[in-house]
Amino acid sequence: MKKVLLVYNPVSGTGKSVLFLDEAVAHFQSRNMLLIPIRTPYREETLQELLGGVDLVLAAGGDGTVHRVVNSLMQHGAQPPLGVIPLGTVNDIAENLGFSPQRFDLEMINPESLSLVDVGKVAGRYFANVASAGLLADIAYKVDQRLKNNLGKLAYYMQGVAEIPNFRGVEARFVADGRTVFRGDMLLFLVLNGCGAGGFNGLMPKAKMDDGTFDCLVFKKCALTDFINLVIKAVSGKHLNDPNVLYFRARSLEVAAPPEVATDLDGEQGPPLPWQVEVLPGRLKVLTPRK
């Protein structure tokens, strides 16, 4: 009998992962598969012990839940494939893999439909989709969980408005694949593995999670009105040609900026700057949707 490890976050989104449990147990039981649930937060040692004896790992929650599971998998020798169940407020990683929260169904989970995707590494930690720092980078983990459960993505936008008093640039330097690409004042930067982050699905329309390269954005210091304009453009994917945005691709990246700047990895608080970021091509085995 195959074993499936389900890591779920009981407070993700509206807390619907708890209601989802029984449905998941019935689904896999009917397929002669044993479902082993473990809730977050968990002891890393406990998960590592379980990983050695399962055929598949499912992360049910938002990007933060997936981030923690990815880090556990990357530290484990024999890596079972990962499936992502989009139950969070924001589900960028799931959407980048083709699992839409609005149209998700357990029938889409096909243990035979596998792909290899890249993983980012910075300061001994891993990220599946995004590493960022600067203005708005800490919104995902600063928003009150009750607000996220009640208001959904609106809670993030409200927190963004609350960050306006902190609007200021910081001096930074970016070295991509050994070449300096930017030196000056910036507001925010993002290193992306997929097409979108923070609910903005069109940030990098041509990005792929399996091309061995990061797509990088630097939002240069500008007036507040110009930055708000940029955010509006980003909603419709029209930001890349704006003079206040620098876009480049890289396999490795050095980021020099003050250590007090807020950082983020997949919606979780990231390590302090400066950073050395590298891409690990094809290091994560993931499930893709059943067609």
Examine the domain organization and report whether 132 and 276 are in the same domain. Answer: yes
Examine the domain organization and report whether 261 and 134 are in the same domain. Answer: yes
Residues 6+ apart with CB under 8 A from 120: 126, 127, 128, 131, 191, 193, 214, 277, 278, 279, 280
> What is residue 154's predicted lDDT score, i.e. its pLDDT?
45
Examine the domain organization and report whether 95 and 17 are in the same domain. Answer: yes
In which domain, by residue range, is 224 found?
127-281
Examine the domain organization and report whether 105 and 153 are in the same domain. Answer: no
Distance CA 268, CA 68 (A): 9
Distance set, CA 146 to CA 8, 63, 151, 264 (Å):
18, 17, 8, 21
Examine the domain organization and report whether 159 and 95 are in the same domain. Answer: no
Judge whether 66 and 84 are in contact, CB under 8 Å: yes
What's the pTM value of the predicted model, to 2 decimals? 0.89
Q: Work out the mean pLDDT of the chain and round it to a whole number.
A: 86
Phi, psi of 272 (to 5 degrees): -70, 150
> What is residue 164's predicted lDDT score, i.e. its pLDDT?
58
Residue type, 186: M
Examine the domain organization and report whether 59 and 112 are in the same domain. Answer: yes
Which of the following is catalytic: 44, 107, 254, 268?
Answer: 268
Distance set, CA 15 to CA 20, 27, 105, 139, 141 (Å):
9, 20, 17, 20, 17
List pLDDT tens digits, range 211-266. Answer: 999 999 999 999 888 888 888 888 777 898 899 999 999 999 999 999 999 999 99
> What is residue 290's predicted lDDT score, i.e. its pLDDT?
66
Most distant pair of Cα atoms in the chain: their distance: 60
Residue 162: CATH number of its domain:
2.60.200.40
Dump strand ranges (E) for 167-209. 170-176, 179-192
Examine the domain organization and report whether 135 and 224 are in the same domain. Answer: yes
Distance CA 118, CA 285 (A): 9
Examine the domain organization and report whether 275 and 135 are in the same domain. Answer: yes
Compare 22 and 15 and report the one with higher pLDDT: 22
Angle at CA of residue 60, ends 149 and 9, nearest 5° = 50
In the chain, % of residues over pLDDT 70 = 87
Examine the domain organization and report whether 88 and 214 are in the same domain. Answer: no
Phi, psi of 101 (to 5 degrees): -60, -35
Q: Does residue 81 surpass a pLDDT of 90?
A: yes
Residue 8: CATH number of its domain:
3.40.50.10330
Compare 150 and 117 and report the one with higher pLDDT: 117
List pLDDT tens digits, range 128-178. Answer: 999 999 986 655 555 555 545 444 554 444 445 455 556 678 999 999 999
Reduced DSSP (H G I as helix, E B as strand, rest coil) percent helix, strand, coil of the chain, to 5: 30, 35, 35
List pLDDT tens digits, range 24-44. Answer: 999 999 999 999 999 988 888
Examine the domain organization and report whether 144 and 277 are in the same domain. Answer: yes
**DSSP state at residue 290:** -
Does the active-site annotation cover 268?
Answer: yes
> What is residue 155's predicted lDDT score, i.e. its pLDDT?
46
Query: Domain tally for the chain?
Result: 2
Query: Kind and range of the H or E element at 84?
Result: strand 82-86
Average pLDDT of the segment spanning 107-116: 88
Exposed, middle or buried: residue 157 (CB in 10 Å: 0-12, 13-18, 19+)?
Answer: middle
Per-residue pLDDT band for 14 (boundaries 50, 70, 90) equals low
Distance CA 215, CA 136 (A): 19
